[in-house]
Structure 1
Amino acid sequence: FARENFLSGKTLSMIDSMAAQFMGVLQQIGFVGGRRSLTIRRLDARSEQLPIIRAVIASGLFPSVAAVSGRTRPKFHTREDGSVVQPHPSSIASRTDAVDFSSKWLVYGEKMHTAKIYLRDSTMVSDLTLLLLGGNVEVSEGDVITEQGPETSFSMLDKYVNFTCDARSAHLVSAVRAKLDELLAAKVADARLDIGSSGHALVGAISELLRAESARANREATGAREALEL
């Protein structure tokens, strides 16, 4: 498997060992319970849902966010640098001819300064992912006027990250975000709280929202590629 997918067996073994240690820590502090084998199977239920994995990565790496402008010849910017940065040559994101940048945002784990400024590892994330899991959000209602009427704007990181949407969508996003924050705060206050039960409906709704947004982005990307081929 490792050879076919250009992966390092030693690195995979190290990741497995770190995951086991992390699971042990979570069990010790009461965040997860039960036998390890049963717990892993239960917590692994959404491991094949790419939008969920991206959301988890985004929540862990925020506020390390890079803006992406352009789809076929994208340019990358970070808030701190102001100028153009580049995905590291070892990163899949550096293959701009093979990667369709259907999102305006990347989160990254490490930034390197050599002859250029490189993002060593990065993951494309959606607007909704950042809105739900990306930290403090400033909301301004009705300050953007379009042909359809006034819209609500969301901003993060001193207005570096900005979104706009209609009032109804803004209300729904804000409500979901508030419920998620409430659930996570309750878990922190009581490590024994089973959010798999108390937050089942909320987590399911967020998962479906992220899945639907990802499917829409994939359809748009496919349509854009087909248009270029005509």
Structure 2
Amino acid sequence: MCLTINLTLLRLWYCFKLFNLVIVSVAWSFQIWKKLLSFLTIFIQGKEEVADRKRLELSAGSCSDHIMLVNAFRRWEEVRVNYAMEDEFCWEYFMSKSTLKMIDNMKGQFCELLHDIGFIQSRSCKDEAANRNSDNHALIKAALCAGLYPNIAKVLPSPGFNKHTGRPKKPKIVAVPHGRVELHLKSVNAQETNFPSKWLLYHTKIKSSSVFLHDTSAIGPYPLLFFGGEISLLSDEGHETICIDKDIRFHAPFQTANLVKDLRKELDKLLESKIEKPGATEWSSSSTEGRIMKAITDLLSTRGGEEDDRDEETPPAERKKDQHYRHDRYQNWRN
């Protein structure tokens, strides 16, 4: 991933007011890319079952390794001012203090770079103005989608129960468009049987005994619509169907796709203007860019997950009425 692309993405994440938390995930990804870290270095090996439970605890039911990392880093930042508490926290959660500090240093370097070229107003990644949406997990995952697409896999439910454990069978995971894969054993999603969405975002794919996905997050279709590839429309057995790069499909009214296309164009123009003339995003409802950002943020926050994938279970007439209502809610940005 070249530096130019990363600067554009960082500008996007700053616009969405997620800067500190998404920067953590970016720094983490770069460390993997540079082979300075692997997934196991942050969680020290030994007592693996306990460590697995601690990772799940930190993921807070998000079905996301990225959110798990963000939560871990945030907890560490809270206790690091006290050496004893910091050591206790790292011991309890099987963390490497040196690795966390490396990520923190890299995060600081990103902030310095972006401040020096005028993309952000403060040298601090914790600047309140840049982090107003830092608790919005759906929006964080959507922002990560902008950086990781097209690394997408589909979740295919497996009916029935495992005869040895009595638990529901784990779903099959298919990388788009490459085929069957497995989730890395240390992922918080490795043993998940009930994903909230049909889609997974992943950082990298590595082949060993099988092809494993590393660092995954369940993600709904709306982030894919906003930050994925080319959108096309078709009819599938009478259902209005949206396709992204031909391989990703879901049922939704065509007007939803047209709304997203319009908002994507407006977001592209906004990013171009911010690159040409760096400055803070105006979030006031009286400004055009404020209305655009609020419409996108609201859409990704309320539709960024899971219920979209279950729309197929809703009676068509009821689903269509509900979807038209949702569409109308996000038209205010035009006014």
Shorter-chain TM-score category? 0.7 to 0.9
- Name 2:296's counterpart in structure 1: 206
* In the alignment, structure 1 residue 174 sits paired with structure 2 residue 267: no
- Name 1:63's counterpart in structure 2: 150
- Written as runs of structure 1 = structure 2, the 5 A alignment for 1:69-218 is 69-70=156-157, 73-82=170-179, 84-97=180-193, 100-134=194-228, 136-140=229-233, 143-144=235-236, 146=238, 151=240, 153-156=242-245, 159-188=246-275, 190-197=276-283, 199-214=289-304, 217=307
Matched to 1:217, the amino acid is E
Higher relative contact order at CA 8 Å, sep ≥6: structure 1 or structure 2?
2
Distance 1:213 1:96 in 2: 22
Runs of 4+ in 1 over 6 A off after TM superposition: none
Task: Assess if the C-alpha contact under 8 Å between 1:76 and 1:85 holds in 2.
Answer: yes
Matched to 1:36, the amino acid is R
Cα 1:39/1:187, change in 2 over 3 Å: farther
In the TM superposition, what is the alpha-carbon distance from 1:96 to its structure 2 partner? Answer: 1.8
- Name 1:51's counterpart in structure 2: 138
Question: Does the residue aligned with 1:103 lie in a helix, a strand or coil?
Answer: coil
CA RMSD of aligned residues (A): 2.6
Question: Does the residue aligned with 2:204 lie in a helix, a strand or coil?
Answer: strand
Distance 2:177 2:244 in 1: 17
Question: Does the residue aligned with 2:134 lie in a helix, a strand or coil?
Answer: coil
In the TM superposition, what is the alpha-carbon distance from 1:91 to its structure 2 partner? Answer: 0.7
Contiguous gaps of at least 5 residues in structure 2: 1-88, 159-167, 311-335
Greater helix fraction, Structure 1 or Structure 2:
2
Distance 2:279 2:299 in 1: 24
- Name 2:102's counterpart in structure 1: 14
Cα 1:41/1:118, change in 2 over 3 Å: same
**Residue deviations 1:70-111, cap 9 Å, x none?**
2753111113532x10110011110224xx311111111121
Cα 1:7/1:45, change in 2 over 3 Å: farther
Matched to 2:140, the amino acid is I
Task: Assess if the C-alpha contact under 8 Å between 1:77 and 1:85 holds in 2.
Answer: yes
Distance 2:108 2:282 in 1: 20
| Aligned-residue identity in percent | 30
The TM-score with structure 1 as length reference comes to 0.78
Distance 2:156 2:116 in 1: 44
Task: Assess if the C-alpha contact under 8 Å between 1:155 and 1:163 holds in 2.
Answer: no
Question: Does the residue aligned with 1:11 lie in a helix, a strand or coil?
Answer: helix
In the TM superposition, what is the alpha-carbon distance from 1:205 to its structure 2 partner? Answer: 1.9
In the TM superposition, what is the alpha-carbon distance from 1:151 to its structure 2 partner? Answer: 2.3
In the TM superposition, what is the alpha-carbon distance from 1:18 to its structure 2 partner? Answer: 1.0
Task: Assess if the C-alpha contact under 8 Å between 1:47 and 1:53 holds in 2.
Answer: yes
Task: Assess if the C-alpha contact under 8 Å between 1:51 and 1:211 holds in 2.
Answer: yes
Distance 1:45 1:8 in 2: 29
| Count of residues in Structure 1 that have an aligned counterpart in Structure 2 | 207
Greater strand fraction, Structure 1 or Structure 2:
1
Distance 1:215 1:85 in 2: 22
Cα 1:113/1:167, change in 2 over 3 Å: closer
Cα 1:216/1:76, change in 2 over 3 Å: closer
Task: Assess if the C-alpha contact under 8 Å between 2:182 and 2:211 holds in 1.
Answer: yes
- Written as runs of structure 1 = structure 2, the 5 A alignment for 1:4-43 is 4-33=92-121, 35-37=122-124, 40-43=127-130
The TM-score with structure 2 as length reference comes to 0.56
Distance 2:95 2:197 in 1: 26
